[in-house]
Amino acid sequence: MGQMRKFYGKFSLLLLIIALLFLLYIITPVYVEGTVESKAINGRMSGNIVKGILSNMPYPGEPWILVEDKDFEQFFSPEDRNVFINDSLHELMDRKYVSIDYIVAIEVSSEDPLNDVGERETCAYLTDLEDFNRAKIGDKVLCKVSRFDIARIEEITVL
């Protein structure tokens, strides 16, 4: 009886240590550094159909913002270099689409082990509107990457 009690005590301690290590793993953030290569906005329609709204990247001799959804062409000029979405434009897109995906593509200078992205590779991350607006093409950034969603940034800091 005494040996069983010792066994269960040690086993319980081992389970507690494993649970604490798992909790530590979950709450420890992962940060990735890199350079913003491009940005894009996609709209999801009913039936989970994805439609490109616009893309933003350096095109030599061309406008940097290519608007794919003509309903939003009037909000950007050929001279614009970086997309900025104000609240009223976001509201217009939100009325037309079921949901909006804000995407920032980053060439990482440090590995992103959560998304299996190596150094000097590019990953297109989903982000929120605030971080999408904060990041500009060519910016050096530090990103807090989500442990719970694939290729999602929780926070962008411009360096």
> Cα separation of 142 and 155, whole Å?
8
Does residue 16 lie within any of the structural domains? no
Q: What is the mean pLDDT of residues 17-41?
A: 85
pLDDT greater than 80 at residue 60: yes
Does residue 148 lie within any of the structural domains? yes
Between 13-22, 32-41, 49-58, 115-124, the lowest mean confidence (pLDDT) is in: 13-22
Write out pLDDT tens, residues 127-137: 999 999 999 99
pLDDT greater than 70 at residue 1: no
Does residue 140 lie within any of the structural domains? yes
Q: Which residue has the higher pLDDT, 64 or 24?
A: 64
What was the pLDDT predicted at 2?
Answer: 67
Does residue 11 lie within any of the structural domains? no
- Give the structural domain span for 138: 30-158
Asked if residues 127 and 45 have their Cβ atoms less than 8 Å apart, the reply is no
Residues of 63-72 as b/e, b for ≥16 C-beta within 10 angstroms? Answer: ebbebebeeb
Does residue 17 lie within any of the structural domains? no
The total number of structural domains that make up the chain:
1
What was the pLDDT predicted at 20?
Answer: 80
What was the pLDDT predicted at 136?
Answer: 96
Does residue 121 lie within any of the structural domains? yes
Does residue 24 lie within any of the structural domains? no
